[in-house]
């Protein structure tokens, strides 16, 4: 049996964009065992993928806040021991950062990654045993698929398959839409007044406004106060959020990880771009979707309303 370790730790959108590579690797290597090293917050989502046999959670985001604390150092040591516990036939770091290359170097096995011309942090390529050239102008989903295929000996074929079956997660009953208004990057935001206008145009449909940070929660509550049938759910782990999104009639979202999750699940989607390039980070999936706006050119309220109403009818 072949043992494979994938390293793709964060962010949420990057983790989702790696899922088609897992699906394809399982088809090419049906008897292999796949482990995935991923940031602890995203571990519940990684566990939903049917090709994944083991999830190894790491906590770089939390560790860096107190890197020299004894408790942090002990936890880092424990995580590195978990990564070294097994010898892998192949290790694939599709993140391409120095911190993930260090994880790859810590693991036991043949290490694959991008070469210095294909990688976000060129120094990271020095930590790999085998370096692969993959076009940097390709969509993130395709870069992950190509790197994994080169490392594991197959050629990607067909449309991306995220391995997530919406019907497995969606609960019946309430009819609602989801508005994903929050993102960690201010340049990607769509103005709050636009979200209010959109919500009011959607009439009596229930609208759900998830959040991840306290600032995002405050924003959700401000929007909900202006919309008669909007609600702000409690914060939940990502597997529960996936079920919430899977059950939605439609999703409208800015360029953020949860928007990519909606696309991966095949939920009808209106993607709102304001500060990033759809060609490189746009949504990919098998469901109905409309992509509006571009870097520096956010879409109008009227265009987003029309796109969303098409999914409500």
Considering the domain 3-152 in this protein, what is its CATH number?
Answer: 3.40.50.2000
Render pLDDT for 56-71 as a digit per residue (tens, 0 to 9). Answer: 999 988 888 888 788 8
Render pLDDT for 167-200 as a digit per residue (tens, 0 to 9). Answer: 888 776 778 999 999 999 999 999 999 999 999 9
DSSP 82-137: HHHSSEEEEEEE-S--HHHHHHHHHSEEEEEEE-TTT-SSGGGGGG-SEEE---TT
pLDDT given for residue 73 in this prediction = 84
The values of phi and psi at residue 29, to 5°, are -130, 75
Whether 96 and 151 have beta carbons less than 8 Å apart is answered as: no
The C-alpha atoms of residue 200 and residue 29 are separated, in whole angstroms, by 50
pLDDT band at 216 (very low <50, low <70, confident <90, very high): very high
Instruction: Tally the residues of the chain.
Output: 313
Whether 271 and 291 have beta carbons less than 8 Å apart is answered as: yes
pLDDT given for residue 126 in this prediction = 97
pLDDT given for residue 206 in this prediction = 96
pLDDT given for residue 68 in this prediction = 79
The C-alpha atoms of residue 164 and residue 87 are separated, in whole angstroms, by 29
Closest CA to 230 of 220, 240, 239, 238: 220
166-312: what fold?
Rossmann fold (3.40.50)
Residue 218 has pLDDT above 90, yes or no: yes
Domain ranges of the chain: 3-152, 166-312
């Amino acid at each position: 049996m072949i043992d494979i370790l994938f390293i793709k730790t964060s962010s949420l959108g990057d983790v989702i964009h790696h899922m088609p590579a897992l699906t394809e690797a399982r088809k090419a290597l049906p008897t292999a065992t796949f482990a995935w090293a991923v940031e602890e917050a995203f571990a519940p989502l990684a566990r939903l993928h049917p090709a994944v046999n083991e999830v190894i959670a790491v906590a770089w985001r939390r560790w860096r806040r107190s890197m020299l604390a004894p408790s942090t150092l002990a936890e880092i040591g424990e995580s590195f021991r978990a990564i070294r516990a097994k010898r892998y036939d192949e290790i694939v770091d599709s993140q391409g950062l120095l911190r993930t290359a260090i994880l790859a170097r810590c693991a036991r096995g043949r290490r694959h990654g991008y070469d210095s011309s294909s990688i976000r942090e060129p120094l990271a390529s020095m930590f790999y045993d085998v370096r692969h050239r993959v076009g940097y102008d390709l969509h993130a989903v395709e870069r992950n698929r190509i790197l994994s295929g080169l490392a594991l000996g197959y050629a990607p074929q067909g449309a991306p398959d995220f391995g997530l079956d919406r019907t497995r997660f969606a609960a019946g009953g309430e009819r609602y839409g989801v508005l994903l208004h929050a993102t960690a990057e201010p340049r990607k935001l769509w103005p709050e007044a636009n979200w209010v206008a959109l919500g009011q145009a959607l009439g009596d449909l229930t609208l759900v406004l998830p959040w991840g940070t306290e600032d995002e929660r405050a924003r959700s509550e401000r929007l909900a106060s202006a919309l008669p049938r909007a609600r702000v759910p409690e914060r939940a782990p990502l597997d529960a959020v996936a079920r919430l999104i899977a059950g939605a009639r439609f999703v409208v979202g800015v360029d953020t990880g949860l928007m990519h999750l909606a696309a991966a699940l095949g939920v009808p989607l209106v993607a709102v771009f304001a500060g990033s390039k759809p060609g490189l980070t746009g949504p990919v999936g098998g469901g109905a979707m409309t992509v509006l706006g571009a870097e520096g050119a956010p879409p109008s309220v009227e265009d987003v309303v029309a796109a969303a109403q098409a999914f409500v009818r």
